[in-house]
Amino acid sequence: MKQIDLSVSINKIKLSSCIMNASGVLCSTDKELSNLLDSFSGAVVTKSCTRKPRKGNFEPRYFEWNMGSINSMGLPNLGIDFYLNFLEKKETKKPIFLSISGLSAEENYFLIKKANHYSKITALELNLSCPNLIEEEDLISYNFSRISYLLENIFKFNKKPLGIKLPPYFEDLSIQKMALILNQFPIDFVTCINSLPNGMVVDTKTESVVIQPKKGFGGIGGSIIKPFALANIRKFYTYLRKDISIIGCGGISTGKDIFEHILCGASAVQIGTQLMKEGVFVFERLEKEFSFFLRKKNYSSIDSFKGNLKNFQ
Ligand code: SIN
């Protein structure tokens, strides 16, 4: 049988498989991270951390249905020291992406400077797109001058490979503007997309919202957001420098979904809602399904079709 090579590089970071977890899902505690390290995933991404541990928003704060999920977790995490200490103790060949999400620019500088000293951290994923913070009035990633200022400061001192987790953008011009900013900095990757902000799910039986924080508004993930993920990946693939890799995230539950993300231009993919539904066994299943799909299509590696989406002539 033809050998399928699912290994990829995110800029200079080598992954044995292009499939990994999305930050936020089953990657907060010692046990969850240990399970991910032992799983079939090609890398491990930690829960976005802050300087101090956070309890996050009130429960219920996560709900899923057949087409997706809504969450307003509010960055519950054990604080950067927990993640750094945990990773220092672990022997692993998997690349480790430390996700950070400071509540201010200064907190992000602090977190990045601290993580820079730890050799077990392969790369940083700077999460600028969490839509669930009670403290934040606007999403920094929709504010281009704030982002530009933040990145200018970060790249005065950062030494680790660094990527940015982006929210979905809904206008071509926004993606062009964002890409123009990102192209000015030595960024290694972007992760597109975080959950769709300000969604709402209604329970008709109780005639109420399904999560408590923010009067029921939260980030939407899962199958229902796949078209937005694909569109953002495709546009960023068109506008970003070619050495900035794209990690696709949003709506992956089958091997065929992974194919679609990579055909649009992603180099690797992250699994969120489906990981929550299925647990870490999802990685082995997706790897099998994706390999089977590629074999049928007669592709033997990611690079043989990445970004090759066709338009109608
Ligand atoms: C959360 O903790 O609220 C989710 C994180 C995110 O969407 O970035």
Which tens digit of pLDDT belongs to each residue from 76-104? 999 999 999 999 999 999 999 999 999 99
Residue 308 is assigned to a structural domain of this protein: no
Among candidate residues 224, 105, 115, 111, the one with its CA nearest the CA of residue 161: 115
In angstroms, the first-to-last Cα distance of the chain is 36
Residue 168 is assigned to a structural domain of this protein: yes
CATH number, domain at 243?
3.20.20.70
Six-digit token pair at 215? Answer: 């009067």
Q: Catalytic annotation on 72? A: no
2: pLDDT strictly greater than 80: no
The whole-number average pLDDT for the span 273-301 is: 98
Residue 69 is assigned to a structural domain of this protein: no
Six-digit token pair at 77? Answer: 């995490």
For the ranges 112-121, 133-142, 282-291, which has the lowest average pLDDT? Answer: 133-142
Q: Print the domain residue range for 46.
A: 8-56+75-195+222-297
In testing the pocket of ligand 1, which one of 55, 73, 134, 192 has its CB within 8 Å of the most ligand atoms? 73
Count up the domains in the chain and report the number. Answer: 1
* Share of residues in the chain with pLDDT > 70 (%): 100
8, 243, 258, 276, 303 from 12: Cα distances, Å: 10, 10, 21, 29, 15
Report the distance separating Cα 194 and Cα 132, nearest Å. Answer: 11
Report the SS3 class of residue 194: coil
Q: How confident is the model at residue 264 (pLDDT cuts 50, 70, 90)?
A: very high
In testing the pocket of ligand 1, which one of 48, 78, 101 has its CB within 8 Å of the most ligand atoms? 48
Q: How confident is the model at residue 3 (pLDDT cuts 50, 70, 90)?
A: confident
What pTM was computed for the model? Answer: 0.98
Q: How far is CA 57 from the centre of its chain?
A: 20
102 within ligand 1 shell (Cβ under 6 A): no
Residue 14 is assigned to a structural domain of this protein: yes
Residue 64 is assigned to a structural domain of this protein: no
